[in-house]
Chains A and B, each alone.
Chain A
Amino acid sequence: MKYSYITPRKKTAFTQEIQLLLSFFTITILMLLFTYAFLLYKNYTFVKDKKSTLTELASLEKSFDNMKASISFIERQQMLSEKVYTQNSVLKDSITNLFDLVPLRITLSEASLLENGLILYGITPNKDVYNFMLQAPLRSIFHRTYSSFYPAQNGWLRFVSTNYIDEEEELNSED
């Protein structure tokens, strides 16, 4: 100080009123920033949730398609199984019927089922028993029947009976 005995008090533009005003504005700006940050966070989480939901949706759709395919496959398998079961039932009945045809005096050693035929191996006491008791029913079932004999060691006859069902004749008979 050049002329004054004392130095002036320090002056500041930040008076109490200005400080109050600045505090108010600072708090307001902080609140706005906080709200903005909160909204940004919410938006981020929303986008993230949306993305994960879409991914999940796509995954579910894919899973749904897979399930539909599985269901279709299972249905087909069921149908097939039913068909096989039916066929097996038919075959079982056929075999049961076949074995019912075999008289007690004839013994079968082997039976081979073909797609359109049946081959029987066995032993018979004689040709007559075979012809009357087995060949006759077989001829009523199959269209063509061929039999061949060869003697066994105990004096009986071993036989091979080959029987076929002709498809054309079958269809004609159905018509």
Chain B
Amino acid sequence: MLTKLFEALYNKVFVNIVVKRSSTDVYIELCSKNGVIESEQNSFDTQFLSGEIIDFVDSFTKESPYYYISILDISSEQGAFPTCSKSRFSYFYDVSASEHKCVNDAWTFYTSKTDIYEIEKRYQKIGVDFIFSPFTLLSNFFQDKITASIAMYVLMQDGFVSLAVFESGTLLYAEHLDIEISGESEDVLLSHDESHEEEDPLEDGIDLEDIDVIDDMEDLDDFGDIEDLDSLEEIDEFSEHKDIEEELYEAEEQIVNSDDNDFNEDYQRFMLIKTALGHFYKDDKYESQFIENIYIADGVGVSNDLKHYLEEEMYLNVYIRHTELGIELSSLAKLELN
């Protein structure tokens, strides 16, 4: 009773930390009962907990004892699988060394216990209250979409790609990929795909003959010239309140001239999505169904080329929705507290 009274008297501070490839974004929200009073975001050029980050966080957390620090898990040994039955866990993944959580009695997300311990140790100076999986963030972000028919949902982070396939709110397939690690094995994957080209269910729909970024960069330049195949009918399929937002985002993206590095990264992302989709189709563990739509939560600012790749090469309907990972983490933390 007394605790609730004090809780009502104080504002809540939500500190949300997103670790990127070479920097750390810290987004802080100061919330009252009526909503967000103040918010501030700062980016620090380090992956570790520096004095600057501590000072920045402390400047807000000292205002209220009710502060919650959330971190987005970026460990490579994380994922999700479509069951909550412990007896079936081993069928998908050995979770003996992992922390796992079941969602809606339908699917489970997991991460390495060592990585959680490492995060807690790394941030012990400021403490950690929540560690969220990118898959929960993805499902929460596309809450209005995952209950519909089957589609792939992708969370684009700086250096990471989290993919999930949902059908009617149920997860069918998920994978978390590190672009750098996955990029190293890309050749192997490509050659693997090519060697199994005849077995690939995408074979009929996607012609990969012209795609060889490493050997032929000129072909990649052509991707920028590919006409936008988005038709108005396709846009109408998306919920109306998101159309304007996404169209504006596309317009902004077209203005931005992506450099070679972004271009390469987008291609890597495209390859990862393609490979993951191939796994989904091929792996017997998963109930593979044909995917027509792909929803991308863009937390890094992908170029329009990625959309073109996916549309041109994989014949997918691509919908990109920009997301601020810090804000999404904050909303997850609020959900946890409620």
Contacts and interface: CB of A to CB of B under 8 A. Distances in A.
Interface of A: 1-6, 8-9, 11-15, 18
Given A2-B336, A4-B131, 10 more contacts: A4-B332, A5-B99, A5-B111, A6-B120, A8-B129, A11-B7, A12-B3, A12-B6, A12-B65, A13-B6
B335 interface: yes
Contacts of A15: 65
Interface string B1-34: 0010011011000000000000000000000000
Contacts of B128: 6
A145 B140 CA distance: 154
B332 A11 contact: no
Secondary structure of the B contact surface, majority rule: mixed
Nearest to B131: A5
21 contacts: A1-B101, A2-B103, A3-B332, A3-B336, A4-B70, A4-B131, A4-B333, A4-B336, A5-B131, A5-B132, A5-B133, A6-B120, A6-B128, A6-B131, A8-B129, A8-B130, A11-B7, A11-B66, A12-B65, A13-B7, A13-B9
Contacts of A1: 101, 130, 336
Contacts, number: 65
A16 to B, nearest CB: 10
Interface of B: 3, 6-7, 9-10, 65-68, 70, 73, 99, 101, 103, 111, 116, 120, 127-133, 136, 140, 332-333, 335-337
Nearest to A3: B136
B116 A6 contact: yes
Nearest to B139: A3
A13 B3 contact: yes
A135 B19 CA distance: 158
A13 to B, nearest CB: 3
Contacts of B73: 5
Contacts of A6: 116, 120, 128-131
Contacts of B99: 5
> When A and B form their complex, which 6 residue pairs have the shortest distance between CB atoms, in order from nearest?
A13-B6, A8-B129, A4-B130, A3-B136, A5-B131, A5-B99
B93 to A, nearest CB: 15
A6 B337 CA distance: 13
A9 B66 CA distance: 10
A11 to B, nearest CB: 5
A171 to B, nearest CB: 110
Given A13-B10, A13-B65, A5 B129 contact: no
Nearest to B5: A13
Nearest to A18: B65
A2 B132 CA distance: 10
Given A8-B336, A13-B3, A3 B133 contact: yes
Nearest to B115: A5
B65 A3 contact: no
B121 to A, nearest CB: 13
A8 B332 CA distance: 13
Nearest to B2: A13
Given A9-B127, A9-B129, A13-B7, A2 B335 contact: yes
Nearest to B67: A11
Contacts of A5: 73, 99, 101, 111, 116, 131-133
Contacts of B6: 12-13
A63 B281 CA distance: 121
Contact of A3 (B66, B116, B120, B335): B335
A9 to B, nearest CB: 6
B181 to A, nearest CB: 22
B135 to A, nearest CB: 10
B270 to A, nearest CB: 29
B134 to A, nearest CB: 11
A15 B73 CA distance: 29
A17 B255 CA distance: 52
Contacts of A2: 101, 103, 335-336
Contacts of B66: 11, 13
A110 B3 CA distance: 119
Nearest to B6: A13
Contacts of B332: 3-4
A6 B115 CA distance: 12
A15 B67 CA distance: 12
Contacts of A4: 70, 101, 129-132, 332-333, 336
Nearest to A1: B336
B132 A3 contact: yes
A72 B195 CA distance: 145
A2 B101 CA distance: 7
A8 B7 contact: no
Contacts of B65: 11-15, 18
